[in-house]
Chains A and B, each alone.
Chain A
Amino acid sequence: MTNTFKITSNIKNFFIEIGELSYFAGHFFKEAFSRPFEFKELLRQCYKMGNRSLLLVGVTGFILGLVFTLQSRPTLADLGVESWIPSMVSISIVREIGPVIIALICAGRISSGIGAELGSMRVTEQIDAMEVSGTNPFKYLVVTRIMATTLMVPLLIIFGDTIALFGSALVEYLKSDVSFLLYFNKVFNALKFTDIIPATIKTFFFGFAIGLVGSYKGYNCKKGTVGVGEASNTAVVYTSMLIFIIDFIAVFVFDIFFEI
Chain B
Amino acid sequence: MKVDHNIEPILKIKDLKKSFGENHVLNSYNMELFDGENLVVMGKSGSGKSVMIKCIVGLIQPDSGSIEIMGKDIMKLDHSELDFLRTEIGFLFQGSALYDSMTVRENLEFPLRIHNDSPEKKEELVLDALESVGLRHTLDLMPSELSGGMKRRIALARAIILQPKVIIYDEPTTGLDPITAKEIIELMREIQLKQGSSSLIITHDVDCARVISNRMILLIDGINYAEGTFKELSSLKDKKIQAFFK
Contacts and interface: CB of A to CB of B under 8 A. Distances in A.
Interface string A157-180: 000000000000000000000000
A37 to B, nearest CB: 13
Interface stretch (A57-65, A81-89, A128-136, A146-154): A128-136
B57 A132 contact: yes
A54 B111 CA distance: 33
A136 B83 contact: yes
A252 B79 CA distance: 42
A133 B95 CA distance: 16
Interface string B77-105: 00100011011010101110111110000
A132 B79 CA distance: 12
Contact of A129 (B83, B87, B89, B99): B99
B113 interface: yes
A241 B193 CA distance: 58
Interface string B12-43: 00000000000000000000000000000000
Contacts of B179: none
Contacts of B87: 133-134
Interface residues of A, number: 15
B89 A126 contact: no
A120 interface: yes
A135 B100 contact: no
Most chain-A Cβ atoms within 10 A of its Cβ — which of B57, B58, B97, B114?
A: B97
B93 A125 contact: yes
Nearest to A120: B100
A124 interface: yes
Nearest to B155: A129
Contacts of B97: 124-126, 128-129
Contacts of B98: 126
Interface residues of B, number: 24
Contact of A135 (B91, B95, B114): B114
Given A120-B100, A126-B100, A128-B59, A134 B95 contact: no
Interface in A97-156: 117, 120-121, 124-126, 128-136
B111 A133 contact: yes
B59 A131 contact: yes
A135 to B, nearest CB: 6
Interface in B85-136: 86-87, 89, 91, 93-95, 97-101, 110-111, 113-114
Nearest to B93: A125
Contacts of B111: 133-135
A141 to B, nearest CB: 10
B95 A125 contact: yes
Contacts of B99: 121, 126, 129-130
A135 B93 contact: no
Contacts of A129: 91, 93, 97, 99, 158
A224 to B, nearest CB: 11
A174 to B, nearest CB: 44
B110 A132 contact: no
Most chain-B Cβ atoms within 10 A of its Cβ — which of A124, A125, A130, A132?
A: A132
Interface string B50-69: 00001001110000000000
Contacts of B101: 117
Given A125-B93, A129-B91, A129-B93, A134 B100 contact: no
Given A133-B86, A134-B87, A128 B93 contact: yes
Complex A-B, nearest 3 residue pairs according to Cβ-Cβ distance, in ascending order: A129-B97, A133-B111, A134-B83
25 contacts: A117-B101, A121-B99, A124-B95, A124-B97, A125-B93, A125-B94, A125-B95, A126-B97, A126-B98, A126-B100, A128-B97, A129-B93, A129-B99, A129-B158, A131-B58, A132-B86, A132-B91, A133-B87, A133-B111, A133-B158, A134-B87, A134-B111, A134-B114, A135-B83, A136-B79
Given A125-B94, A125-B95, A133-B86, 20 more contacts: A124-B97, A126-B97, A126-B98, A126-B99, A128-B59, A128-B97, A129-B93, A129-B97, A130-B110, A131-B57, A131-B58, A131-B86, A132-B59, A133-B87, A133-B114, A133-B158, A134-B83, A134-B84, A135-B113, A136-B79
